[in-house]
Amino acid sequence: MINQKNVQLGTVRSCIRELFEYGKKRKAEMGEENVFDFSIGNPNVPTPPEVNAAIKEIVDTYNPVFLHGYTSAQGDFETRKVLADYTNARFGTKLNADCFYITCGAAASLTIVLNALLNEGDEVITFAPFFPEYKVFTEHAGGKFIPVKCEEDTFHIDFSRLESAITAHTKGVIINSPNNPSGVVYTEDEIIKLAKLLEKYSKKYGNPIYLIADEPYRELVYDKDTKVPYVMSYYKHSLVCYSYSKSLSLPGERIGYVGVNNEMPDFSEVYAAVCGAGRALGFVCAPNLFQQLIKKVYNLTSDISIYKRNRDKLYSALTEYGFKVVKPDGAFYMFVKSPEKSAVDFCERAKKYELLIVPGDDFGGEGYVRISYCVAPEMLERSLPAFKKLAESYR
């Protein structure tokens, strides 16, 4: 018998993938323009032109043996130095190059951090609704995955539920702000409260509880007064998992990093464990061409204003049609209350109007659906009458 857990993971497609494949088939039947696919988080805004220009410049000017050669396992030193300087200037931290470990994207960052921290049976808390792969990554690292429901209707942290979920076995808490799938951004007060609570229970149980900030959506916030607090400024035992997938529209290229807070007393051990986990998982180093690229474009983003316009248009249309939606502060997802009890049934009905949206069940958000609005604005525009009819079908 081979590993049945991995057979299972490879056999049961996530409902997002399932719908994505259905969408491909349906578009072939109905015409691309007649299917409204809001199923996946594949950015539809192109990478900024500087990215492709920089790739060509790098290929033209670098020594190919250096360019395509191994970097050290933690990543090119100069790139890590640039990341440290940028982070310090932006957030007032005192990080250095050796606080960073460059990875093949956010998923890699998370599996590396979880494998670095966890021993068999350790518990990892996250807030529901959550990105479904957190469960897969935690369990593969030997951990128990403990989802804690957010406040109903706001999707902010429910601290009393959190407090009752913490045990002597709690090794880490994953936060994801801006959040997939709710779009919520945690406020500074919320992060301060969270930090205090984690300090209290770290002391109580005599073991640090690590705060893991999964931040692929950090740059995707749409209102001037929305700030995404940087966890390292509030909590010593914190790690940041970053990715350029969404900010630079490079999801297929797999480039991101882990940042380890050098204020944590056990910094050296944690950083070593990050290196060890990356090694054991088979990462070797992140793609060097993209490591060199990041050095040049680390402070750019794709044209985020397109997502903002999508958010505003979709939010006002859906609320006008009578749907119940928390207005997202960031990321490019909207978490909409299903007008009937079963979100799965709601999504099935939406298909009749050629609307592809994902039930919240896999995200730990039963009774809600996720709409990914990282889509072409024209498609979103064309889809609105379908959303209207869908709403009317429930009257």
Instruction: Tell which positions 170-199 bind a second copy, by CB under 8 A.
Output: 171
Three-point CA angle 147, 154, 109, nearest 5°: 45
Q: To the nearest whole angstrom, how small is the minimum distance from the Cβ of residue 8 to a second copy?
A: 7
Sequence-separated (6 or more) residues with CB below 8 Å from residue 56: none
Q: Cα(141)–Cα(120) distance, rounded to whole angstroms?
A: 8
Residues 26-45 that bind a second copy (CB under 8 A): 40, 42-45
**Residue closer to a second copy, measured from CB, 50 or 190:** 50
Sequence-separated (6 or more) residues with CB below 8 Å from residue 186: 156, 157, 175, 177, 194, 228, 229
Among 39, 79, 111, 383, which residue interacts with a second copy (rule: CB under 8 A)? 111
Which span sits near a second copy by CB under 8 A: 59-67, 84-92, 146-154, 331-339? Answer: 59-67
**Residue closer to a second copy, measured from CB, 17 or 389:** 17
Q: Cα(257)–Cα(242) distance, rounded to whole angstroms?
A: 5
Q: To the nearest whole angstrom, how small is the minimum distance from the Cβ of residue 134 to a second copy?
A: 11
Which span sits near a second copy by CB under 8 A: 114-122, 323-331, 335-343, 379-387? Answer: 114-122
Q: Cα(62)–Cα(339) distance, rounded to whole angstroms?
A: 57
CA distances in angstroms from 93 to 122, 231, 235, 297, listed in the order given: 29, 10, 12, 21
**Residue closer to a second copy, measured from CB, 42 or 88:** 42
Let me know: does 237 contact 264? Beta carbons within 8 Å: yes
Residues 282-311 that bind a second copy (CB under 8 A): 282-291
Peptide bond into 181 cis (omega under 30): yes
Which span sits near a second copy by CB under 8 A: 103-111, 224-232, 323-331, 380-388? Answer: 103-111
Residues 121-160 that bind a second copy (CB under 8 A): 133, 136-137, 139-140
Binding mask 210-239 for a second copy (x = CB under 8 A): ------------------------------
**Residue closer to a second copy, measured from CB, 112 or 356:** 112
Which span sits near a second copy by CB under 8 A: 4-12, 92-100, 192-200, 218-226? Answer: 4-12
Q: To the nearest whole angstrom, how small is the minimum distance from the Cβ of residue 281 to a second copy?
A: 5
- What is the total count of residues that contact a second copy (CB under 8 A)? 81
Token pair recorded at residue 356: 């592809």
Q: Cα(137)–Cα(107) distance, rounded to whole angstroms?
A: 8
**b/e burial code for range 54-89 (CB count within 10 A of at least 16 → b):** bbeebeeeeeeeeeeeebebbbbeebbebbbeebee
Q: Cα(224)–Cα(330) distance, rounded to whole angstroms?
A: 11
Among 23, 105, 328, 364, which residue interacts with a second copy (rule: CB under 8 A)? 105
**Residue closer to a second copy, measured from CB, 11 or 160:** 11
Q: Cα(374)–Cα(309) distance, rounded to whole angstroms?
A: 11
Q: Cα(270)–Cα(123) distance, rounded to whole angstroms?
A: 17
Check binding of 206 to a second copy (CB under 8 A).
no
Sequence-separated (6 or more) residues with CB below 8 Å from residue 333: 41, 179, 180, 181, 182, 183, 370, 371, 372, 373
Q: Cα(125)–Cα(145) distance, rounded to whole angstroms?
A: 6
Q: To the nearest whole angstrom, how small is the minimum distance from the Cβ of residue 215 to a second copy?
A: 16
Among 145, 155, 201, 271, which residue interacts with a second copy (rule: CB under 8 A)? 271
Q: To the nearest whole angstrom, how small is the minimum distance from the Cβ of residue 249 to a second copy?
A: 6
Check binding of 6 to a second copy (CB under 8 A).
yes
Residues 306-345 that bind a second copy (CB under 8 A): none
Q: To the nearest whole angstrom, how small is the minimum distance from the Cβ of residue 319 to a second copy?
A: 29
Check binding of 60 to a second copy (CB under 8 A).
yes
Strand partners, 359: 369
CA distances in angstroms from 89 to 93, 95, 369, listed in the order given: 8, 10, 38
Which span sits near a second copy by CB under 8 A: 53-61, 89-97, 307-315, 322-330? Answer: 53-61
Which span sits near a second copy by CB under 8 A: 110-118, 221-229, 318-326, 361-369? Answer: 110-118
